[in-house]
Amino acid sequence: MKEMSLPAKTENLQTVIDFVTDELESFACPLKARLQIELAVEEIFVNIARYAYRPEVGEATVRCAVDKEPLQVVIQFLDQGKPYNPLTKKDADTSLPAEEREIGGLGILLVKKSMDSIDYEYQDGKNILTIKKNA
Amino acid sequence: MTLTKQQEGSNLTVFAEGRLDTTTAPQLDELLKTSLDGVTQLTLDFSRLAYVSSAGLRVILSTQKLMSKKGKLVVRNVQEAVRDVFEVTGFSNILTIE
């Protein structure tokens, strides 16, 4: 698995996206799957940047591995911020009219809908979120 | 992201090109905040919008709430990746999409 660590700040989002898409570069990853992966990466990284260490800034580590035939992308996010399992958060109610809609919860919903699996564990003081996409 | 405005009387069309994400959503938010005085029909043209994340949805939702009080919001020419995001989040039910 390739790995990069960097300050968990939203300004670093593009760096993280580039790291993952560079890994995908040499594989024939369909555009649709690629955009879904970018979406999941954005939602998870931005969530870490905004909440994990608030009000401080801490470090995030992103790991990425790509398996060929069948094409599967595995991405892991690690941080040492407050323990937080996004999978326990209730899904946003997508049936409400606009006036009653709140924006919270849409990010993690998008991750769930665009990935094939999401796993969370808390180990050695670290939040570890692993997403998998069969592209 | 590139944003272009086209105004005819109280009808405003905004063309959004590129990616509407955490980095660029504030640009759209800012442009709309300063452009909606006297506007009763707002059209967001997404024919060249390739990507939207929850940060973009946030701006679209607050704009929908605002425009429903003073007129109408129409979203048009939505491309597949953006349409998928609207579908799974139920935004396709709360927006007028043409």
Higher pLDDT, A100 or A123: A123
Confidence of residue B91 (pLDDT cuts 50, 70, 90): very high
Q: A72: which 2 tokens? A: 């599967």
Confidence of residue A104 (pLDDT cuts 50, 70, 90): confident
**CATH code of domain B2-97:** 3.30.750.24
B68:A99 CB<8 A: yes
Helix or strand holding residue B17 (H, E): strand B11-20
Confidence of residue A91 (pLDDT cuts 50, 70, 90): confident
Task: Please state whether the predicted TM-score (pTM) of the whole model is above 0.90.
Answer: yes
pLDDT of A92: 87
Continuous H helices in A79-120: 106-114
Q: CA of B8: how far to CAs of A4, A97, B11, in Å?
A: 49, 30, 5
Which residues in chain B have Cβ-Cβ distances shorter than 8 Å to A14? 23
Domain residue limits, chain B: 2-97
pLDDT digits (tens, 9 = 90+) for A1-38: 899 999 999 999 999 999 999 999 989 899 999 999 99
A105: three-class secondary structure by DSSP: coil
Burial, A8: exposed, middle or buried (Cβ in 10 Å; 0-12, 13-18, 19+)?
A: buried
**CATH code of domain A2-134:** 3.30.565.10
**CA B15, B91, B22, A134: dihedral to nearest 10 degrees?**
-110
Of A31, A98, A114, the CB nearest to B61: A98
Domain residue limits, chain A: 2-134
Rounded to an integer, what distance in angstroms lies between the CA atom of residue A129 and that of residue A58?
A: 16
Share of chain A above pLDDT 70, in %: 100
Which residues in chain B have Cβ-Cβ distances shorter than 8 Å to A107? 53-54
pLDDT digits (tens, 9 = 90+) for B43-87: 999 999 999 999 999 999 999 999 999 999 999 999 999 999 999
CB count within 10 Å of CB A126 equals: 14
Rounded to two decimals, the ipTM of the complex is 0.93
Residue A41 CA neighbour count, 13 Å, CB half: 25
B81:A42 CB<8 A: no
A92:B22 CB<8 A: no
Distance to chain B for A25, nearest Cα, Å = 19
Q: CA of A21: how far to CAs of B17, B26, B37, B38, B96, in Å?
A: 21, 24, 41, 43, 33
pLDDT of A5: 98
Distance to chain B for A124, nearest Cα, Å = 30
Q: The dihedral of CA B22, B23, B25, B26: what is its sign?
A: positive
Among candidate residues B14, B2, B94, the one with its CA nearest the CA of residue B50: B2
Over residues A43-55, mean pLDDT: 96
Distance to chain B for A35, nearest Cα, Å = 7
pLDDT of A98: 87
pLDDT of A64: 97
pLDDT of B40: 98
